[in-house]
C-alpha cells in the first residue's frame, strides 16, 4: 500500500490509526531487537497496519512459528491478506480478544506481543482490557513490546508489567519511544 493510500485511510478512520504514515524500517528494527526468534513459537502483533513490522517478523521467524496479527481496519486487512505465508494468521478483530484467538489456534500463551496500538486514541477501558489480557496471555518469560510517540504511556505500562525498559529512535516520523515490558 502506498503512503498516499495510507493517508487516505487515516482521513477516513475515526482516529483509530493514530499515525500519519507507516513506521520506518529503523523503528521496525528497534521493535524486533528484544526478540529471541530461536525461542519464539507464537508471536502476536497488534495493529499491523500495512505490515511494516509483519514482513520483518516473518523474515526472522522460525519455519514452524506462527504470527497472529490483529487489525480492525478493513483496507489494511485486505493488504495483509495478500501476504503469502502460512505462518501468518490475519485476524480482523480487536486486540482485546487475544485469548480467544490463542485458544482457537491451540496456543497456551504468546512468547511476544508487538503492539503499535495508538493508546492516546483508544478509550481507557479498552486499553485496560488489552493490557490486562496481554499480561495474562504472555508466557513466563514473554515480552510485550509497544511503541508510542511520547513517554506518557510509561506509568500505565508499569502498572500492568513487572519491568518496563525504554528505548528510543529519532529515525522515524515522528521519533518514537519503544517500551519493552516483561510479564
Ligand X SMILES: C[S@@+](CC[C@H](N)C(=O)[O-])C[C@H]1O[C@@H](n2cnc3c(N)ncnc32)[C@H](O)[C@@H]1O
Which of residues 75, 94, 109, 167 is near ligand X by CB under 6 A? Answer: 94
12, with CB counted inside 10 A (0-12, 13-18, 19+), is exposed
174 CB burial (10 A radius; 0-12, 13-18, 19+):
exposed
Residue window 117-156: x/- pattern of binding to ligand X, with contact defined by CB under 6 A: xx---x----------------------------------
Binds ligand X by CB under 6 A, chosen from 16, 109, 139, 182: 16
Which of residues 32, 35, 44, 48 is near ligand X by CB under 6 A? 48
Tell me how far apart the alpha carbons of residues 125 and 63 are, in angstroms, rounded to a whole number: 37
Residue 138 in grid coordinates? 504472555
22 counts as binding ligand X under rule CB under 6 A: yes
Q: Does 116 bind ligand X (CB under 6 A)?
A: yes
Q: Any idea which residue has 491451540 for its cell?
A: 106
Pairwise CA distance, residues 137 & 98, whole Å? 7
Residues that bind ligand X (CB under 6 A): 16-19, 22-23, 46-49, 52-53, 70-73, 76, 94-95, 116-118, 122
Amino acid at each position: 500500500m502506498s503512503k498516499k493510500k495510507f493517508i487516505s485511510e487515516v482521513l477516513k478512520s475515526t482516529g483509530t490509526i493514530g499515525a500519519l504514515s507507516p513506521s520506518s524500517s529503523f523503528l521496525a528494527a528497534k521493535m524486533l531487537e528484544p526478540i529471541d526468534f530461536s525461542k519464539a513459537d507464537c508471536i502476536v502483533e497488534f495493529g499491523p497496519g500495512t505490515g511494516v513490522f509483519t514482513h520483518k517478523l516473518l523474515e526472522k521467524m522460525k519455519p514452524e512459528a506462527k504470527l497472529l496479527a490483529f487489525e480492525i481496519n478493513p483496507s489494511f486487512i485486505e493488504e495483509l491478506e495478500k501476504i503469502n505465508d502460512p505462518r501468518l494468521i490475519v485476524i480482523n478483530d480487536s486486540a482485546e480478544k487475544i485469548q480467544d484467538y490463542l485458544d482457537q489456534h491451540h496456543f497456551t500463551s504468546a512468547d511476544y506481543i508487538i503492539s503499535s496500538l495508538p493508546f492516546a486514541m483508544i478509550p481507557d477501558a479498552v486499553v485496560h482490557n488489552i493490557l490486562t489480557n496481554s499480561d495474562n496471555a504472555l508466557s513466563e518469560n514473554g515480552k510485550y513490546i509497544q511503541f508510542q510517540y511520547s513517554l506518557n504511556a510509561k506509568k500505565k505500562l508499569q502498572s500492568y508489567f513487572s519491568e518496563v525498559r525504554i528505548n528510543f529512535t529519532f529515525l522515524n516520523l515522528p521519533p518514537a519511544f519503544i517500551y519493552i515490558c516483561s510479564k
